Structure 1
Amino acid sequence: MYAIRAIVAAALLLPSAFAAAVPSVEYCQNPRVVSTEYIGRDKNVLVQHTACDTVAAPQVAHAIEARQSNNVCGTPFNTFCFTPSGGGPDPNDCHVITDALLYDSQNVGALFTLDPAQNTSVITMTYQSCESFMVNQDSVALTYCRTDWASILDNLAFNCQATQNAHGGLSVATNQEWFIQVQHS
């Protein structure tokens, strides 16, 4: 009888232990890929723009008008690694995405926009084992720098690995407007 109670108690605690270890961010309701392209010098990084019915938005007050774009290049953020270790992307695959971002920054333009009104709340980049995505959690368009994303991507890819007891991670703007995540594809 005590063994059954112990098994039931352990089973009830198990989901909460996994919930704490694996972030569950319900950031995009009813995701739909609205465009797909390949970027970089070798056109080997898959980019997908995703529309969401709604995005989990923080309670952020803005003085900016909805028709304006909010340039968030260089804004402060906090970085978190996903624990425990195992199953993370190869940081060298992630660096290919970094190179593609830097190449496009020089050859396409330094800035890009995530605009809910244009059905682009999420941009995902994938190369082999690495997937990185940026999510606009705000209701207005956000303009961001490709070089900033590249820097965050390399930092997460190389510093949130098994040697740090991690398997990817994310950087979140301190005001919760956006986040960039790195994980296994």
Structure 2
Amino acid sequence: MFAKQLPAFLIVLFCGLSAIAAPKDTSKCSSVSKTHIGEKKQVLLETKNCGGEVNSVADSKIAKDGNSNPTNVCGAKCHTVCYSKDPPYYTPGDCQVLYDTIWYESQRNVKGHEFVILKGQTMTMSYSTCEISFVNEGTDLDLVYCRDDWGAVIRYIATSGTCPFGGVCVSEDKNGPQWSINAVGTTPIQGN
């Protein structure tokens, strides 16, 4: 009996792993806000609505200041899965620019050490060949995340050579808020 169930189990297991390893497709998401950040203002920061509330980053700050009760996931662990995909690939040096920008913004204390990402929204930073997204996968919770944690995940996935073709870090707490951080290669953006 076990021998008959094993192939079915393995199919379900591998299908589940491939779903986790697939990058979040944000092409159908609508842009809420765009701005350039960093010391040289060379990194594009974009918030996209992927089915959640339509609010700007400024509205996210209002939510953090008391009109909402976002769930803090700073320090929460995530599980990394590396992609093996076709181009475009990122250049680790371009991803390092994103890491440096997070560090720069944190040191300047711009809008605080934490940021709020509303339910169903994605916050994406991009520079040349590298795109990093924090995705709030939930439909019922706004989340607070820390810039230094986001930077640490970026450094691990995209600049250390751990995942040369990109990767995703998925929240480990399956009973808690669902979120992920994706690092992918992209066609260089004009002006970055």
| TM-score (ref. length: structure 2) | 0.70
Question: 1:22–1:82: 8 Å Cα contact kept in structure 2?
Answer: no
In the other structure, the counterpart of 2:181 is 180
Question: 2:35–2:45: 8 Å Cα contact kept in structure 1?
Answer: yes
| TM-score (ref. length: structure 1) | 0.72
Question: 1:30–1:53: 8 Å Cα contact kept in structure 2?
Answer: no
How many residue pairs align between the two structures?
A: 151
Q: CA deviation at 1:24?
A: 3.8
In the other structure, the counterpart of 1:111 is 114
Question: Deviation per CA, 1:80-127, whole angstroms, max 9, x where unpaired?
Answer: 1002576421011001000111111121121000013xxx71001100
Whichever residue aligns with residue 151 of structure 1, its letter is: A
In the other structure, the counterpart of 1:142 is 143
In the other structure, the counterpart of 1:50 is 48
Return the index of the structure with the highest Cα Rg: 1
The secondary structure found in structure 1 opposite 2:39 is: coil
**In percent, how many aligned pairs have the same letter?**
31
> Gaps (5+ residues) in structure 2?
1-16, 54-66, 187-192
Q: CA separation in 2, counterparts of 1:22 and 1:84?
A: 14
In the other structure, the counterpart of 2:34 is 36
Say yes or no: does 1:92 pair with 2:93: yes
Cα RMSD of the aligned pairs, angstroms, is: 2.9
The secondary structure found in structure 2 opposite 1:149 is: helix
- Cα 1:27–1:184, aligned 2, differ >3 Å: closer, same or farther? closer
Q: CA separation in 1, counterparts of 2:69 and 2:21?
A: 32
The secondary structure found in structure 1 opposite 2:89 is: coil
Question: Deviation per CA, 1:60-82, whole angstroms, max 9, x where unpaired?
Answer: xxxxxx94111100001101100
> Gaps (5+ residues) in structure 1?
1-18, 56-65, 162-166
